[in-house]
Structure 1
Amino acid sequence: MALEGVILDVDGTLVLSNDTHAQAWVEAFAAYGLEVPFEKVRPLIGMGGDQLIPEVVPELNAKEGTGKAIAERRKELILDKFRPQITTANGSRELVLKMQKSGLHLVVASSASSQELDMLLKIAQVDDLLSEVTTSDDAEASKPAADIVEAALNKGQMTPDKVVMLGDAPYDIESAAKAGVGVIALRCGGFNDQQLSGALAIYDDPEDLLQHYDSSILGANA
Structure 2
Amino acid sequence: MTSPTPPAEPTYADRTFRSPAGLVGGVLLLLLVGWIGGDAVFRGGGRVPWLALAGLVTSVPLIVAFTLRPAVFANDRRIRIRNPFRTITAPWTAVADVRAGYSSELFTQDGEKFQLWAVPVSLRQRKKASRQQTRKAQDDPYGRTSVHADVRNANARIGGADHTVRDLREMAERAGDGGADGAGAVVVRWAYEVIAPAVAGAVALVVLFVVG
TM-score when normalising by structure 1: 0.21
Q: Which has the larger radius of gyration?
A: 2
TM-score when normalising by structure 2: 0.22
